[in-house]
Structure 1
């Protein structure tokens, strides 16, 4: 009887030690909307911002996003529009005051994912996805793209020309 109990216990214990499935590395891109004039509540992109938005469509040639998230502001939608059109993706609208809800939705998407955010939300979003917080952004900080990738969530930052 003791042998039977020990064998049953060993069998149950071995079932508890099954490793968790390995999650594939994910890639996320986070950027602030592109160039706008300072002082407007919902400005359009400037000519420089429109030029960079066109460049963004080619910037993702090697690793295009499968999903794009934008806030419901003209500047965010205009930033993503050329890329979304090129890829045939309809950007998903998110509430910029709910970064936690955004992260939960982004994690459900197949990677890579692009998030077009704002100066006051980019640091929090990058931190939530990587554990690394970028410096605060000022108005002139346009064109930076943070790539968060791999199991260790390595962050690299590049800038559109």
Structure 2
């Protein structure tokens, strides 16, 4: 067998090194957010403010090139209105989930039902961090009542390993 020419050997080594250093793409991603800013129009089930509607639209734009497969929100108007622009942009309906369901059980359902693509979950200040923590198997800081801009993305690889990334909508 004839040895590879020097340039071909170098190219092969560089190609193999690039493959080894490129992390595998996630098989599933879960984006968990708290609903956007709520109005004071109804003490039990408020709608979104103008700023909240704008934030929901920015979330839809942020997700526009993602393979969004499902959008979940609790039955409250503020969560439904936060998820609706992203759902509409992808030809999806918002699926209502029970916000009182334990986060670990809901996360297990999400992982089982959506093992590929991106799933958006819209929760509340007292539920969103717990859902993200259950999806990633990690610790997530609680969300204060005044915080509306945190985006928690959990990427799950083929091995099942989950990685949490938190960003802000600014």
Number of aligned residue pairs: 138
1:116 alignment counterpart: 122
Cα RMSD for the two superposed structures: 1.8
TM-score, with structure 1 as normaliser: 0.78
Q: Is the 8 A contact 2:64 2:86 kept in 1?
A: no
TM-score, with structure 2 as normaliser: 0.74
Which among 143, 146, 154 is matched to residue 137 of structure 1?
143
1:49 alignment counterpart: 52
Which among 41, 58, 62 is matched to residue 61 of structure 2?
58
Partner-residue secondary structure (3-state), 2:117: coil
Q: Is the 8 A contact 2:64 2:89 kept in 1?
A: no
Partner-residue secondary structure (3-state), 1:114: strand
Gaps of at least 5 residues in structure 1 are 1-23
2:17 alignment counterpart: none
Structure 1 segments (4+ residues) deviating >3 Å: none
Following TM superposition, by how much is the alpha carbon of 1:37 offset from its aligned partner in structure 2, in angstroms?
A: 4.1
Gaps of at least 5 residues in structure 2 are 1-25
**Structure whose CA Rg is larger:** 1
